[in-house]
């Protein structure tokens, strides 16, 4: 039997909660991302615990050991236990009785196999107990180790239960799939066939999933598969997967706003945070200008300035200047030496603004070399 070790598993809170449930005769099994990522030696951000105890029993037992309980989704069998500093989402074993592609009507189960069967991918149906002993009811470990993202059972059925799983399929492919295997063909075909179901999914959920996908180290292959299946253009009409791939080649460590700017297309169907929208527009504006890397660094900062140069190269299918990063950093460190007060009272109103703009252009064209005195000589 495979056993895992991790700081989160050995922590006092998780151990106390599992011990309390087991002492009452219930199962307590960590499941999903915390198990998957531990096996991959990847960071763990959330703890999910599956149990055969009903939410009422979980609440009572957790409170008996001094933990606070938040009823985050009791109708679906879920409560969040604040075990010390560690929130643990505890869900009763369940199966989905019916679904409309967005929400499921659930029935509680006592069997771990039933609970595993209603999950999305084989690599997400991995469990472990408080001692770290791995439980793999659907033989998902070989898929995880091989980097294969596969739906559990029939892909069409899993997708019909929640159409967001279409985007999750591409997100998990971007993060966990081994490119040597290529994308799972059955899963890809099911996503293409079920693409119309995305209309039932809220813009907020689609946006969240898309941002997680684009945060992968290199999502270009997954995005290309999205485009081939018709999913990408359903989510972002007019999106350009090849431009994104070229941009990622130039800027592998870029942020989400730069990647969305490279992807292009119409984002009306998304619900992006305002800061993201501003960032995208800044990148688009900067890239569409004819300004040099140093000027873009001066006007937008070194990071956005460099991204804009690389985005412009990706859009025009050219190579970016080799010194673009150095020039963007140089520009970002500059401060225009002229202030409005230096030109008053000789200039005022619109004439003052025009004069400042002209002097700034001269200063930039000089490579930021002209001094205040030289600029004011005219």
State how far the Cα of 359 lies from the Cα of 61, in Å rounded to an integer: 72
CA distance 204 to 207: 5
Q: What is the mean pLDDT of residues 21-48?
A: 97
Q: Is residue 211 part of a domain?
A: no
Summary mean pLDDT of the chain: 94
Q: How many domains does the chain have?
A: 2
Cα–Cα distance for residue pair 271/274, rounded to 1 Å:
9
- What confidence score (pLDDT) does residue 98 get? 46
Pairwise CA distance, residues 327 & 320, whole Å: 12
pLDDT digits (tens, 9 = 90+) for 239-270: 999 999 999 999 999 999 999 999 999 999 99
Whether the per-residue pLDDT at 34 is higher than 90: the answer is yes
Position 12 in a domain: yes
Identify the domain boundary among 125, 146, 167: 146
Distance CA 247, CA 308 (A): 10
Would 54 be classed as within a structural domain? Answer: yes
pLDDT for residue 76: 86
Token pair listed for 156? 């069409």
pLDDT given at position 86:
84
Is the residue at 34 inside a domain? yes
Tell me the mean pLDDT in the region 72-76: 87
**pLDDT at residue 96 is higher than 80:** no
Query: Per-residue pLDDT for 272 more than 70?
Result: yes
> Residues 162-172: what's their mean pLDDT?
98
Whether the predicted pLDDT of 4 surpasses 80: yes
- Which residue in 1, 107, 94, 96 sits closest to 51, CA to CA? 94
Q: Does a structural domain hold residue 99?
A: yes
**Burial of residue 104 (number of CB atoms within 10 Å: 0-12, 13-18, 19+):** middle
**What are the tens digits of pLDDT across the range 149-160?**
999 999 999 999
Report whether 178 contacts 148 (CB < 8 A): yes
Residue 346 burial (C-beta neighbours within 10 Å; 0-12, 13-18, 19+)? exposed
Q: Of 97, 130, 146, which closes a domain?
A: 146
Residues 356-373: tens digit of each pLDDT: 999 999 999 999 999 999
Q: Which domain holds residue 114?
A: 1-146
Buried b (16+ CB within 10 A) or exposed e, 183-214: bbeebbebbeebbebbeebeeebbbebbbbbb
Residue 311 has pLDDT above 70, yes or no: yes
Report pLDDT for 104. 52
Q: Cis check for the bond before 105: say yes or no (omega within 30 of 0).
A: no
Residue 171 · residue 208 · CB < 8 Å: no
Q: What is the CATH number of the domain that holds 53?
A: 3.30.460.10
Give the pLDDT confidence of 273-302 residue by residue, as tens digits: 999 999 999 999 999 999 999 999 999 999
In a domain, 3, yes or no: yes
């Amino acid at each position: 039997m495979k056993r895992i070790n991790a700081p989160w598993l050995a922590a006092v809170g998780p151990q106390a909660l599992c011990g309390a449930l087991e002492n009452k005769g219930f199962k307590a099994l960590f499941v999903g991302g915390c198990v998957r990522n531990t096996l991959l030696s990847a960071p763990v951000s959330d703890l999910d615990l599956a149990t055969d105890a009903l939410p009422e029993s979980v609440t009572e037992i957790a409170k008996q050991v001094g933990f606070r309980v938040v009823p985050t989704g009791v109708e679906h069998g879920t409560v969040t236990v604040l075990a010390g500093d560690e929130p643990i989402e505890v869900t009763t074993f369940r199966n989905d009785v019916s679904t409309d592609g967005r929400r499921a009507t659930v029935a509680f189960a006592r069997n771990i196999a039933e609970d595993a069967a209603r999950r999305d991918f084989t690599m997400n149906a991995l469990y472990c107990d408080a001692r770290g002993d791995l439980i793999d009811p659907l033989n998902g470990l070989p898929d995880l180790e091989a980097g294969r993202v596969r739906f559990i059972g029939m892909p069409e059925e899993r997708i019909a239960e929640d159409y967001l799983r279409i985007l999750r399929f591409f997100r998990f492919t971007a993060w966990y799939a081994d490119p040597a295997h290529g994308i799972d063909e059955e899963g890809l075909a099911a996503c293409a066939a079920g693409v119309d179901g995305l209309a039932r999914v809220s813009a907020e959920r689609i946006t969240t999933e898309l941002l997680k996908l684009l945060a992968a180290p290199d999502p270009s292959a997954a995005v290309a598969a999205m485009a081939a299946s018709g999913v990408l253009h359903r989510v972002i009409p007019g999106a350009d997967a090849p431009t994104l791939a070229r941009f990622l080649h130039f800027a592998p460590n870029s942020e989400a706003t730069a990647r969305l700017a490279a992807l292009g297309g119409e984002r009306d169907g998304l619900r992006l945070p305002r800061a993201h929208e501003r960032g995208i527009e800044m990148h688009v504006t900067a890239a569409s200008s004819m300004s040099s890397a140093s000027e873009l660094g001066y006007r937008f900062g070194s990071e956005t300035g460099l991204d804009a140069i690389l985005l412009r190269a990706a859009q025009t299918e050219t190579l970016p200047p080799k010194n673009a990063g150095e020039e963007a950093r140089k520009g970002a460190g500059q401060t225009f030496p002229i202030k409005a007060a230096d030109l008053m009272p000789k200039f005022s109103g619109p004439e003052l603004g025009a004069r400042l703009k002209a002097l700034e252009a001269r200063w930039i064209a000089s490579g930021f070399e002209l001094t205040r005195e030289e600029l004011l000589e005219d």
